[in-house]
Amino acid sequence: MDLVQNRTIVLFKSMTTTTSSSPATRPREEGSGRVLHKGRQTKAAIVEAALGLASQIGLEGLSIGALAEVTGMSKSGVFAHFGSREELQISVIREYHDRFESEVFYPALQQERGLPRLQALFDNWMQRTSTEIDSGCIYISGAVEFDDRPGPVRDALATTVNTWQTALRRAVEIAQSLGQMDAQADPQQIAFEIHGLILALHYEARFLRNPGAADRARRGFVHICERYTPTTSR
């Protein structure tokens, strides 16, 4: 068992350990509530473990059997929470997206609308990408695994990516409406170029181990903003 699996097992056990059992004299409703709560807690812990594995071995590497081995549960125990390998993979995609939003999107909303918010989105995205250099990005690895494989897993992955890209394009459109970026420019093109910087950063930093990749990505963002500055502001 490798280091990743060992870390995942420790995390899983710490999240599912309870301090005491409920007394037999408690009302049935309370007991049912505790069982439901524990079931949700266990499922959340399984998803946490699955996310850790998927970050290292990809979504395709996930299976009920592999996760059962890592968590120390039976296959039937894991299966009872998900029902299928596809449902497990989709749960991991949703969890990854929730964390992405909480780290990248929602903090940026605290910034002023327009370029300050667009800058915050890019900075937060850069920060998250930097922390994923060793673990990998599920958006990117998942695209490689499922780009030509139609089905619910690909649909779930594409939906989350499209949601994020829509938010990025909307931030560009707001900056345009405020006169901070060229209103005649195609917002989809601007968002495309910004997204391209993140993809290049991930490739250069993770695959080629280029230490200057992050600085180049930041300069690239500055150049994009300068290129799309309204002509009256130049």
Q: Which pLDDT value is given to residue 157?
A: 96
Q: Which pLDDT value is given to residue 104?
A: 96
Q: Which pLDDT value is given to residue 10?
A: 39
Q: Which pLDDT value is given to residue 27?
A: 58
Q: Which pLDDT value is given to residue 135?
A: 81
Q: Which pLDDT value is given to residue 9?
A: 38
- DSSP letters along 105-121, please? IHHHTTSPTTHHHHHHH
Q: Which pLDDT value is given to residue 28?
A: 59
- pLDDT tens across 135-153, in order? 888 999 999 999 999 999 9
Nearest-angstrom CA–CA distance, 223 and 193: 11
Residues of each domain in the chain carrying CATH 1.10.357.10: 93-233
Q: Which pLDDT value is given to residue 5?
A: 41
Q: Which pLDDT value is given to residue 139?
A: 92
Expressed in angstroms, the distance from the first to the final Cα of the chain is: 59
Q: Which pLDDT value is given to residue 33?
A: 66
Nearest-angstrom CA–CA distance, 23 and 77: 24
Q: Which pLDDT value is given to residue 18?
A: 41
Nearest-angstrom CA–CA distance, 71 and 181: 50
Nearest-angstrom CA–CA distance, 59 and 57: 7
Mean pLDDT of the chain: 85
Q: Looking at domain 93-233, what is its CATH homologous superfamily?
A: Tetracycline Repressor, domain 2 (1.10.357.10)
The stretches in the chain having pLDDT less than 70 are 1-37, 39, 232-234
Q: Which pLDDT value is given to residue 222?
A: 97
